[in-house]
């Protein structure tokens, strides 16, 4: 099958070769998104601990009402739950878990309100507005994960439970003794509850928009804004993670350098707007043509780079040739004149560790083969002894 190196003793599991490694989406999630989720889990734990200090301070000053001890216990339980969430954030967590977390924290707040209503003294009931503010804190904190659905879940659950608490408090007020009845009716007046619902709605809208903008900004930090591919810095991060997996599991990596042919001439004759259109179409095509088992990024200008985890040079050659043909057959036209635009690509690829134990050397080998493909006439793939 062409050149053979020691790595093939470990990876040639079948005559046709084999593809290794995580899918692109999973690897990008693990490398670029999960650290942010872990930071959010740390912040959530810190916020819960700070809130738990409120009943702790009250108990230290005045421990006459056992309901405050219940609030302290609820805070400790919520902190333990947040600690568990921080532990789980180190691995891959289900997408539904953050929404469950939001509903859980809202339910803890509402549960405390029910306990205060049933068993709290008049002095204890004065803490109910503080509990309402915790709803606002929850909605605000839920936007840290940069998922629009989480502030919506937090806001909806908080509003629904606040209505339930209000209805229960007004039903329980006539049975309360003395000042407790007046305090409950005053605290859960329907007008006051309506105002609180308006505040929860406003907080939900703001948090949702902040989550949306945060997600967009986060995407822009690791994706090329024109093509949607990984930018150079993010590609290098994901590549480092894949190399580490390759070392542990002993499978090879192929680095493919791709350069559009005569792109500068196209920019000069057709204009940068047309050049940008071509780059967008190329980015879309590369995402589709390489599939989920390759990491693809834009290295700058008209240069792209991909990492493949096939064990067979023949497989790599076939995949890169398919990418070359997909770009060659791309139907792209000048939007002003309608003229067809010829899009071709030259590709050079090298294998780690066969072409060098140092990743920089592998890149240099791939780059040399890219220029060999250019020199041989462009619109071709070059893998050293293998070429198309």
d(CA 343, CA 106): 55
Q: Which of 148, 187, 302, 354 is catalytic?
A: 302
Active site residue 328: no
d(CA 381, CA 373): 6
Strand ranges inside the chain, DSSP E: 253-260, 294-300, 303-308, 332-333, 340-341, 345-352, 381-383, 386-387
Torsion of CA 283, 285, 287, 288, to 10 degrees: 170
Which tokens go with 127? 């803490």
β-pairing, 381-383 vs 345-352, is parallel
Cβ contacts of 13 within 8 Å, gap of 6 or more: 311
Torsion of CA 279, 283, 285, 291, to 10 degrees: 160
Closest Cα partner for 170 from 198, 155, 197, 192? 192
Closest Cα partner for 108 from 150, 69, 158? 158
Start-to-end CA distance of the chain, whole Å, equals 15
Cβ contacts of 89 within 8 Å, gap of 6 or more: 34, 37, 38, 40, 41
Catalytic residues: 302
């Amino acid at each position: 099958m062409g050149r053979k190196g020691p790595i093939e003793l470990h990876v040639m599991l079948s005559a046709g070769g084999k593809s290794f490694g995580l899918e692109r989406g999973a690897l990008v999630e693990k490398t670029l998104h999960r650290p942010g989720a872990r930071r959010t889990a740390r912040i959530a734990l810190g916020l819960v601990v700070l809130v738990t200090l409120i009943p702790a301070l009250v108990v230290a000053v005045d421990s006459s009402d056992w309901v405050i001890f219940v609030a302290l216990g609820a805070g400790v339980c919520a902190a333990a739950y947040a600690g568990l969430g921080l532990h789980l954030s180190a691995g891959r967590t289900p997408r539904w878990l953050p929404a469950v977390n939001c509903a859980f924290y809202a339910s803890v707040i509402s549960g405390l309100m029910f306990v205060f209503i049933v068993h709290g003294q008049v002095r204890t009931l004065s803490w109910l507005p503080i509990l309402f503010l915790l709803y606002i804190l929850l909605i605000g904190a839920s936007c840290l994960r940069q998922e629009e659905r989480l502030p919506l879940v937090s806001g909806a659950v908080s509003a629904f439970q606040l209505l339930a608490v209000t209805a229960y408090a007004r039903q329980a007020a006539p049975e309360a003794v003395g000042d407790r009845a007046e305090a409950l009716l005053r605290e859960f007046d329907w007008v006051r509850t309506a105002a609180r619902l308006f505040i929860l709605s406003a907080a939900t809208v703001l948090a949702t928009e902040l989550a949306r903008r945060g997600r967009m900004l986060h995407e822009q930090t690791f994706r090329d804004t024109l093509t949607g591919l990984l930018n150079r810095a993010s590609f290098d991060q994901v590549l480092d993670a894949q190399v580490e997996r390759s070392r542990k599991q002993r499978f090879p990596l192929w680095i493919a350098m791709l350069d559009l042919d005569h792109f500068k001439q196209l920019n000069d004759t057709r204009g940068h707007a047309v050049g940008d259109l071509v780059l967008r179409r190329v980015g879309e095509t590369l995402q589709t043509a390489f599939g989920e088992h390759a990491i693809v990024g834009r290295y700058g200008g008209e240069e792209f780079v991909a990492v493949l985890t096939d064990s067979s040079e023949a497989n790599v050659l076939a995949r890169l040739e398919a990418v070359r043909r997909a770009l060659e057959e791309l139907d792209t036209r000048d939007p002003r004149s309608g003229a067809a635009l010829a899009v071709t690509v030259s590709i050079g690829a090298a294998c780690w560790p066969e072409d060098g134990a140092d990743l920089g050397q592998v890149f240099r080998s791939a780059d040399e083969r890219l220029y060999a493909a250019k020199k041989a006439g462009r619109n071709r793939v070059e893998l050293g002894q293998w070429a198309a």
